[in-house]
Amino acid sequence: MLEFKGVRKSFGPLQILKGVDVEIGKGDVVVILGPSGSGKTTLLRCLNFLERADAGTARLGSLEVDLNRATKKEVHAVRQKTAFVFQNYNLFNNKTALENVMEGLITGRKQPKETARKKAAAALDKVGLSDKYDAYPVQLSGGQQQRVGIARALALDPEVILFDEPTSALDPELVGEVLGVMRQIAADGTTMLVVTHEMQFAKDVASQVVFMDDGVIVEAGTPGQIFDRPAEERTKRFLRRVLPDEYNYSI
């Protein structure tokens, strides 16, 4: 359904992505793990043209594009099939929750205002914010703001949603509510590519776990393979560091 090959990206002399391949089937939840600086966020941004890759190709169904040479029309076509959930919400402070979700439908998808309103309301209902249509971001907790961001993505009815560390900016007590929403939309069959540090989410929800380091994919497999039977020493060191109570002696 969705395939990226040979994605490369440098910033000046610093090579961030060194030829990354990712394949996502319909309804899959692919979780990307790795240390800070491994290229995870840059990969997502290249996939949605928030950064222009130096090389690589993308195939979404029948659509195939060169990530470096894609035309404006091709970029638009890719963005019609994808949606992005940011670390820091990226909401308009002068718009209500409902208006924030409506915005992409009206400006990006050219939908009539009333149609956009109905879709936005349904998306907010789905993330548990039916009582917050008229609330402005300043009136919402961080977890609620991120749920608005997820609703904004859902309302676009994309083929895949890209999540860039969606809980990293949240206070610890608010993480659970966002992960709960993500678990629900995964259970509904939404195709997701998720960069996260939430190991339990990866164990419970992912159909595939990808471990990245230094701009390459070190290892990929099912949660059972990656967490219980990692093949690469670099993966084992990462797990020992992030989950020391579980992996000090077992790997």
pLDDT tens, position by position, 126-140: 999 999 999 999 999
The string of pLDDT tens digits covering residues 151-190 is 999 999 999 999 999 999 999 999 999 999 999 999 999 9
Does 249 score more than 60 pLDDT? Answer: no
**Which residue, chain included where needed, has tokens 């859902």?**
154
In a domain, 111, yes or no: yes
In a domain, 214, yes or no: no
In a domain, 95, yes or no: yes
- Per-residue confidence band for 12, with pLDDT thresholds at 50, 70 and 90: very high
In a domain, 213, yes or no: no
The residue among 167, 181, 95 whose CA lies nearest residue 105 is: 95
Residue 139 DSSP class: G
Domain containing 102: what range?
87-157
Q: How far apart are CA 65 and CA 77, in angstroms?
A: 10
Q: How many domains does the chain have?
A: 1
Q: What is the pLDDT of residue 18?
A: 98
In a domain, 245, yes or no: no
Task: Count, in order, helices (H) and strands (E) of the chain.
Answer: 10, 10
In a domain, 22, yes or no: no
Q: What is the pLDDT of residue 61?
A: 87
Q: What is the pLDDT of residue 251?
A: 61
Q: What is the pLDDT of residue 71?
A: 97
In a domain, 51, yes or no: no
In a domain, 169, yes or no: no
